[in-house]
Amino acid sequence: MGNVDSNFPGEVEVPPAGVTKPPTPGPRPGSRENPVRFQGQDYWKIRNQLLRDERLFEDPNFPAGEESLGPLMKTGVEWIRATDLFRHPQFFVESISITDICQGELGDCWFLAAMSSLTLDENFFTYVVPSDQSFQKMYAGIFRFRFWQYGKWVEVVVDDRLPTKNRRLIFTSSSSRNELWSALLEKAYAKVYGSYSSLSGGNVSVAMADFTGGIAVSFNLSSTPPDFLWLLVKRALTKQTLASCAIEATSQQDLEKDNGLGLLKAHAYAITEADTVRQGTSTIKLLRLRNPWGHKEYTGPWSDRSPLWNSVSDQEKAGLKLKIKDDGEFWMPANIFCENFTGIELCSLQPLCQHSTTCVWAITSHEGKWMAGISAGGTPNEDTFWTNPQFRLTLFEKDDDAGDDKLSCTIAVDLMQKYRRQKDKTDYHYIAFYIYEVSKSKIISYTE
């Protein structure tokens, strides 16, 4: 039978005799429309079977026990199903908010900072955390989440048995105690990487990429002018970009140590907004940050309880959504930000185009290995350098003149290592790449 032409309802298009139309291809596996089922677990099939059997899901691939915790915690942990832990558990309470994320005993502030940024973009958030999940409707103890892993989207299922001590969640929780999307999202991420322990310590950009499939860029703030930094962040946040920042610690003793202004060293913060406030005839450029702990805030000029806010109208404070509350969220001036923070990370799905809202990436990925004696050629000063993996890239358009602020051909290169954060350890190798501009008779090579 032919296909119905939507322009002429009721009429059927019939192919000529002997001609068979090829089937319309579906979305490729691993695309946003067709994520790969992580470890082969199909959410819909499992849930429907559980509902028929009137049972609740117990995940055999991430069991409630020491194996899933990892070596961080071995004693005193009790895994309790959400419906047994709370009288009225909720997946969401009202709307999503960054206050839904409060760090527990696990050192995964890098992941939670990225999660805080994720809540600011409804499109990203509702894809990673599908909103059609509930503890009331069609509940079977199974929940699903989506992450980008090495070029593919994967859908991960977990049960709702959560690690507790004294009947309280020991890892991520919400300021609304019975709200559980953030705790379950953390559990799904721990499952992807092998255990909760494997999430202890990391880079915010890794989680940002896992939430978006975007490309992360890091900036050192040692010589960045505050006005440029503020404008960069302002533009980034309007272009579907997640942003975070941190203060480098120079010793083990400095880890999460207060720097004197309420800011913690070696601790990841989400940057959630860039705006301005009037002070007399001056305009102060501000950045809004959030501590994933859900408390412990900056205490300097323009902090929540700074007397400088007394000169600002209630209307302007409402526009900035200023909250005089120890909820981990605060404003600070761009110049003080640059004086204290040492680096920021941005993760975007599209370039920061000033004059266009239709920027499009054409994405190509390659996989390769450095193998000793075969394709591990070492650094450029070694004779074997040429044996490193090489990939040719041809730019079919030329950049516009240097005086033109519109570039017609721009590339971004992102290099990642697979499976280095697994089974309670993070073991990244030193890698790098080089890009060469060469004539048509040569090649462009990326090497590590």
Q: Which residues are catalytic?
A: 109, 267, 291
Strand order of the β-sheet with 78-81 is 78-81, 161-165, 168-169
Q: Judging by beta carbons within 10 Å of its beta carbon (0-12, 13-18, 19+), is residue 286 exposed, middle or buried?
A: buried
What is the spatial distance between Cα 192 and Cα 40, in angstroms, rounded to a whole number?
Answer: 13
E strands, 374-443, where? 421-422, 425-426
DSSP string, 361-375: -----------TTTT
Give SS3 for 102.
strand
What is the spatial distance between Cα 398 and Cα 408, in angstroms, rounded to a whole number?
Answer: 7
Please say whether the beta carbons of 158 and 77 come within 8 A. no
Phi-psi region of 278 (alpha: psi -120 to 50; beta: other; left: phi over 0): beta
User: Which residue blocks in 54-106 are alpha helix, DSSP H?
Assistant: 66-69, 82-85
Contacts of 30 (CB under 8 A, 6+ apart): 36, 151, 152, 153, 154
Please say whether the beta carbons of 97 and 125 come within 8 A. no
What's the distance, CA 179 to chain centroid? 21
Q: Which residue has the tokens 């971004």?
A: 412
